[in-house]
Amino acid sequence: MSTIVDDRYQLLAPVGKGATGVVWRAYDLLLERDVALKEIALPPGPEAAERRRKVVREARMAARLSHRGIVTVHNLAEESERLWIVMEFLEALTLHDTLVQAGPLPVDLVAKLGRRLLEALRHAHAGGVVHRDIKPANIMLTGDRVVLADFGFAAFENAATTSMRGTPAFIAPEVLQGRGGTREADMWSFGATLYMAVEGRTPFRTVDSMAALVEALREPPRTPRRAGALEPVLLGLLRKDPAARLSSEQTHAMLMNVRRHSAA
């Protein structure tokens, strides 16, 4: 017998795992459409209230952003000591899965993906929201859409926080020094993601540990081998000093130039 959440959403099958919970494909019995439900179990005891507060914040933060490049949040349900964020369902591969299956992508395609992802990121930043976990696994590719997903670590820009969130290979070096929660840190992660897409490897040799953050803080990124016209964009986004890093406006102009260069 299938599980019904909140007397409305019929769980069909798990489709993935995000930073903070399992994601299910489900069917909205009221509106008769497929949706995605992110399941988040509440811990026992006094920690439950804090976890619930964070989940509600995540849902509200994502729901205030309306852009085709950001996953749409429909509802928030609570049942059986679990919270469920109800989102649009996308038949999509993540950028991570695409790279695993196809290998490094062509420069012109990465530039195109980058422009569309940047549009979504700029929309979030304009709304005062920083994502804090941009990486290939959180980018969904479906049709002509490039969609930024999983706002589980998101925060309002410049909010007081010393917590270090995200995946080491895609975390800006200043986050190691407790200066996260800025759009500049998001831009670094965006650059590391584009680097991975076109090079098929991360900017630094170490990937999944604290050593990756230390390397990002002290060492220059590995010289790109496949990036071509994208190389100045990548290196400009991966500058150690946030003040010297490419802004979203500069990045957009350079990505447009890559487009013209590829079309020539």
**Helix or strand run (H / E) with residue 41:** strand 33-41
Per the CB < 8 A criterion, the answer to whether 84 and 77 are in contact is yes
Residue 133 bears catalytic tag: yes
CB 155 within 8 A of CB 132: yes
Residue 39 sits at φ, ψ, to 5 deg, of: -90, 125
For 8, 36, 50, 87, the CA distances from 42, given in Å and listed in that order, are 21, 19, 9, 19
Residue 112 in marked binding region = no
Provide the Cα torsion 12, 13, 14, 15; round to 10°: -100
The residue annotated as part of the active site, out of 7, 108, 133, 241, is: 133
Tokens 């940047």 sit on residue? 118
Question: What residues act catalytically?
Answer: 133
Binding residues for ATP: 38
